[in-house]
Amino acid sequence: ETMKKVLLVIISMLLLFTISSAKTTKMKNIKNLTSTSWKLVEFQNVELVSQYIGSKSLGVITLDFSKKGSVASGNSGINTYTGSYVVNGENITFSELTSTQLYGPRNIMEQEYKYLNILPNINSFKIVDNKTLKLVTSDGVELTFTRTK
């Protein structure tokens, strides 16, 4: 009888530990954009185009904010890009953007071109529920990202 109680206590403790450690694996609350990663899910209320060529997925647009400094980088659909960003309150600006120059399917190239040309015009951001990032231009164009890290 005592052995059953001890076993029950041990199992209960293990279960509690498992549940509590599962909760801590959730993404931490964001104090700032540093060390976060995002995937673009909506651009000007238009669904994004993506396709597979072999095992490579094209059209997925990502945005990563570096751990140190003020470097933003990611995949723009076909190419990779990098640049600087500055945050001041709810304002954000991207500058010095460069990207690789690979070619791909026309529809994805057009989407990538629009994205890379809108980034320098972003001037504000908002984080919603710790998992959605909205970047907005001065004339109201909105990019919506979901958090991946």
- pLDDT higher than threshold 80 for residue 100: yes
Q: What is the pLDDT of residues 120-130, one digit of tens each?
A: 999 999 999 88
Q: How many residues does the chain have?
A: 149
Phi, psi of 113 (to 5 degrees): -60, -45
pTM, entire model: 0.77
Asked whether the CA dihedral 4, 8, 11, 13 is positive or negative, the reply is negative
Q: What is the pLDDT of residues 59-98, one digit of tens each?
A: 999 999 998 879 999 999 999 999 999 999 899 999 999 9
The amino acid present at 52, given as its one-letter code, is Y
Nearest by Cα to 128 from 104, 108, 110, 145: 145
Q: What is the pLDDT of residues 15-30, one digit of tens each?
A: 555 444 444 444 555 5
Q: What is the DSSP letter of 6?
A: H
Phi, psi of 90 (to 5 degrees): -95, 5
